[in-house]
Structure 1
Amino acid sequence: MNLVTFWQHLSTVTVDSIYETNHYRERISLRFGEEFAKEVYDFIFDCVPVAIIQQSEQKFKVSYQYDIDYDLTIICGIKEGNPLKLSLISCYKVASKRRQREDEQKQEQ
């Protein structure tokens, strides 16, 4: 699957087409607490990603702006079928300045 096809699928994903891996559930629980899982779904359904990187044929790294200092990064896999399934593999926060150019960071300060 290419990036364009993934983007189109991501914009039409439903709750029923999302699968949470055991690794994802463990990481959410350890890093953020169980309540945070709902917030992840809110980002997927309601926010526009600030970055999408294709890691392999069926795996993508999707980043959303979480707040002024951090992005929320979700590692997703695509499982073929009808309909396609979005598999949540991992989730973590990363400093947003990692995706911004140095001159953009200076303008914000």
Structure 2
Amino acid sequence: MSTNLTIPPVIMWQYEQLYNLVEYQTQDGLLTAKQVAEFLHKDPAWLLRATYDGMCPFAFGSNKGVGRGTSCFHSLPFFFYMTQGNLFRAATDKDSLPELLQI
């Protein structure tokens, strides 16, 4: 038995927020820790700590050296992490979109 999957409005809203963040708030393809943390509804210090510890799959960072950490949040890996690449695949292969939305 096959049923159509309906995307909840809150998920659509989050996708819109993600798109707006990546499209309109990046600078040279980069996001700040504060921007990413606000999107995730987390404390920026928590995100930076996860990044410094190597636990953030979409960012690079280090807290070694001069006593001040550095971090890098590229918009492409962040977008792909949040969407698992599904939006990109659907946008580039419109024939598979109905298949992706069915159970």
Task: Tell me the TM-score normalised to structure 1 length.
Answer: 0.33
Bigger Rg, structure 1 or 2: 2
Q: Write 1 or 2 for the structure with the bigger share of strand.
A: 1
Q: Write 1 or 2 for the structure with the bigger share of helix.
A: 2
Task: Tell me the TM-score normalised to structure 2 length.
Answer: 0.34
